[in-house]
Amino acid sequence: MTLTETERQVLGLIDESDLVALTQALVRVPGENPPGEEAATAAALMDLARDRGLQVEAEDAAPGRPNVIVTLPGGPDPGLLLLGHTDVVPVGTGWSGDPFSGELRDGRISGRGSTDMKGGLAACLVAMDAVRRAGVQPVGPVLLAALVDEEDTGLGIRHHVAHTPMPPFAGCIVAEPSDLQTVIAARGDSYLDYRVHGRAAHSGSPADGRNAIVGAAEIVADMRDWHGSLAADAHPLVGPATVSVGTIEGGQGTSIVAAECHLTVDRRLLPGESADDVLAEARSRLAALDLGRRDLSAEVSLAMAMPGFATAEDEPLVRVADAALGDAGGPGLPLGGWTAACDGGFIAETGVPVVVLGPGSVSDQAHRADESVGVDELVVAARAYALAILRLGRLAPG
């Protein structure tokens, strides 16, 4: 598509060095979750947004855990929501350098959260600022919602949807790392919490006790079977639902028959799949194991649920976002799906169409040691967001 003069002007105001500096500033502020240390990142983001003349508000989703809303005012029509999060996963091990260095080397910015997703936040902020400095008023307001706790239980998005008054939106772009692909479907997620109860005894006479870990082992084996059965019902864009045992903890000591065992299980959801239905199936499978035959008892509960989403290919948001990405210098990838989960599913449940489009790779960089994001990707993302903002008026049916 041929760019208009206004679009060229706005894109000319996107400065690579500014984008790099902003990304580095955010990466250098730790915000690991758990335990939920987003406050410093939120404060830095608010300062950076105010420095650029944008409107800023904050509201605690939980004590000391503020959601941040950055606004570029617009006209009376429905606007655009840019969605992201301020938390990062724990650093972990295996880093070759400082995980919060924000070092620029060979065209990449390193550090925890550089890809997931402080680079995306920086690109959103720079795009909004470029439109503002060009003196262009979008047809509707543009909001960047940078929320807490996306990496854990979704406190931020739940509070945002339930308690924050928002203007009507024509669409939502989630700035998560998508390899600069326009993603129109994403899996959701649910956490299942299993607790197995037995009876302690001296391990010299194990028959006197009832070993909860033995019962947990049967549950683990069933999770493998459940995972395998899901492969037959794959979604065309996001693949099948999955089951993964995340943690297992039980027993008090080697010489004691384990009286208790606790498992957590990640059960990914297909778009449109209900977490309540998953819980019902988990309970049915648990009952079928008949752990009572071992004089054990067990229960399973739903610890967290995050919905997936699927947006139609002919949705105006999809057309506008994908064209903006192409005109911004994107790689020209086909419309795709995302096997990860994100806060966008909660927005889709409100009736707002959603896509994921952002710099970095969720599969190659996110949640890994030596995480990094390419500067060239940041620039393309910022340009794409700016063009999407300018083309808000095209987000109408037809």
Among 15, 80, 81, 2, which Cα is nearest to 326's?
A: 2
Q: In order along the chain (398 residues), what is the average pLDDT of each group of 10 residues?
A: 94 98 97 96 98 97 97 97 98 97 97 98 98 97 98 96 92 98 98 98 97 98 98 96 98 97 98 97 98 98 97 97 98 96 97 98 95 98 98 80
Cα–Cα distance measured from residue 262 to residue 159, given in angstroms and rounded to the nearest whole number? 29
Q: For residue 78, what pLDDT is reported?
A: 96
Measure the CA–CA gap between 365 and 14, rounded to whole angstroms. Answer: 25
Residue 181 amino acid letter: Q
Token pair 């989703």 is found at 61
CA atoms of 258 and 200, how far apart (whole Å): 6
- Name residues whose C-beta falls within 8 Å of residue 121's C-beta, 6 or more positions apart in sequence: 26, 45, 84, 86, 144, 146, 175
* Beta strands at 55-62 and 104-105: parallel, antiparallel or unpaired: unpaired
Residue 227's identity, in one-letter code, is H
Which of 301, 293, 294, 288 has the alpha carbon at shortest distance from 212? Answer: 294
**3-class secondary structure, 260:** strand
Judge residue 221's burial from the number of C-beta atoms within 10 Å of its C-beta, 0-12 exposed, 13-18 middle, 19 or more buried.
exposed
Q: In angstroms, how far is CA 200 from the centroid of its own chain? A: 41
Q: Are 209 and 199 in contact (CB under 8 A)?
A: yes
- Tell me the residue length of the chain: 398
Q: Give me the helices (H) in 328-359, please.
A: 344-348
Residue 27 burial (10 A CB sphere; 0-12, 13-18, 19+): buried
pLDDT number for residue 398: 53
CB atoms within 10 A of CB 284: 9
In this predicted structure, what is the pLDDT of residue 21? 98
> How far apart, in whole angstroms, are the C-alpha atoms of residue 174 and residue 211?
46
Supply the pLDDT for residue 384: 98
Give pLDDT, residue 323.
98
* Contact in structure between 154 and 34 (CB atoms under 8 Å): no
Give the separation between CA 318 and CA 331, rounded to whole angstroms. 16
**What single-letter amino acid sits at 189?**
D
* Cis ω before 223 (30° cut-off from 0): no
Answer whether 129's CB lies under 8 Å from 53's CB: yes
